[in-house]
Amino acid sequence: MTAVLHEKTRKTVPEKRSPLFSRKDLPFYLFASPWIIGMLVFFIYPAIMSFYYSLTSYDIVSQPVFAGLKNYVTLFTKDQIFMKSVQNTLYMVAFSLPLQLVLQLLLAMMLNWNMKGIGVYRTLFYIPVLVPPVSISLLFTMVYDDNYGILNALLKLCGLPPQQWLTSVQLSKPSIIIMGLWTAGSGMLFYLSSLKNVPASLYESASIDGASAWTKMWKITLPIISPTIFFQLIMGVIGTFQLFTESYVLTKGGPDFSSYFMMYYLYRTAFKEGKMGMASAMAWILFVIILLFTILILATSKKWVYYEEEGK
């Protein structure tokens, strides 16, 4: 009986919680303080202030004047250039991103062969990634030049008419897409690393069962490297929505706003026109769009992303 009462008493006594900030945790907070301070100063505070500025009329010089949702309403109902920039950006996500992912995977599959000198080929395909985006854009201004460009010279040799790559409404975005494919070597390394982890025994078993190369790719290769595809898709969506350098250097948003992307229009609104409140609203709209795309990909990933632990 005494033991039972003692057990009940012991259970009713509340456990003491360790304080959030104790002396023994002081070294941890000291070493983490640079990151914590940097997070507060360079991320959280700017994010809060940008949201506040998006609700104001602010031109950097004068004091911000609260305007409510006026900036958002103006962007969606009156600013035709903004809607054009959204369409152009979605165009790049719909066409440029899939081409990038497919080309990266194909390059990785080709460079996954065990052959003499394969390291040289891998290096050659990766070298363009080391070139700064501005330099690549300047290089392609010469490649796409209407009169002296290398691309038009090759078309003439083939008996085809030269094209206005950067000065045509129809070709401005495809030209930027083609230029982007030149740096597919960055994602190629991720796929190449994943392909190295595919067990050779699976291919051997499939060959014994008479599976074709196409079946092996769909039933073995793609499911096993699907986490890498998932990662590349997420990062590709974020990167494509933030296209800026290509438009700024190659076309300046033209011709006829055909290469006006959201980031480029945000830059012009903020630093060329001085409408910081309107630019902040654009930034938050862009953030929400990227967030929605990311949530959509995450929600559908359970149906097509395979993790090795799930198969055990």
Give me the mean pLDDT over the 294-299 stretch.
95
Which of 309 and 219 is assigned the larger pLDDT? 219
**Model confidence at 109: pLDDT above 60:** yes
Return all residues near 58 (Cβ < 8 A) that are at least 6 apart.
64, 65, 275, 276, 277, 280
In the chain, what is the greatest distance between 2 CA atoms, to the nearest angstrom? 104
Give me the mean pLDDT over the 70-95 stretch.
95
**Which of 156-170, 245-259, 298-312 shows the lowest mean pLDDT across its residues?**
298-312
- pLDDT tens column, 173-191: 999 999 999 888 888 989 9
pLDDT score at 17: 55
pLDDT score at 18: 56
Which of 18 and 264 is assigned the larger pLDDT? 264
| Amino acid present at 253 | G
pLDDT score at 15: 52
**Which of 10-14, 113-117, 158-162, 284-288 shows the lowest mean pLDDT across its residues?**
10-14
Kindly report the average pLDDT of the chain as a whole number.
Answer: 88
* DSSP H or E segment with residue 189: helix 185-196
**pTM of the full predicted structure?**
0.85
Long-range CB contacts (< 8 A, 24+ apart) of 287-294?
Answer: 289/86, 289/241, 290/237, 290/238, 290/241, 293/93, 293/237, 293/241, 294/234, 294/237, 294/238
* Residue 112 CA: distances (Å) to CA of 27, 121, 202: 47, 11, 16
Q: Say if residues 190 and 106 touch (Cβ distance below 8 Å).
A: no
Q: How far apart are CA 302 and CA 273, in angstroms?
A: 45
Domain 78-311 has CATH 2.40.50.140: no
- Ordered by start, the domain boundaries in the chain are 78-311
Q: Say if residues 106 and 191 touch (Cβ distance below 8 Å).
A: no
CA atoms lying within 13 Å on the CB side of residue 135: 6
Give me the mean pLDDT over the 63-83 stretch.
94
**Model confidence at 49: pLDDT above 90:** yes
Which of 220 and 5 is assigned the larger pLDDT? 220
**Model confidence at 224: pLDDT above 80:** yes
Helices (H), 78-184: 80-110, 118-130, 133-143, 150-157, 172-181
pLDDT score at 20: 59
Q: Say if residues 230 and 301 touch (Cβ distance below 8 Å).
A: yes
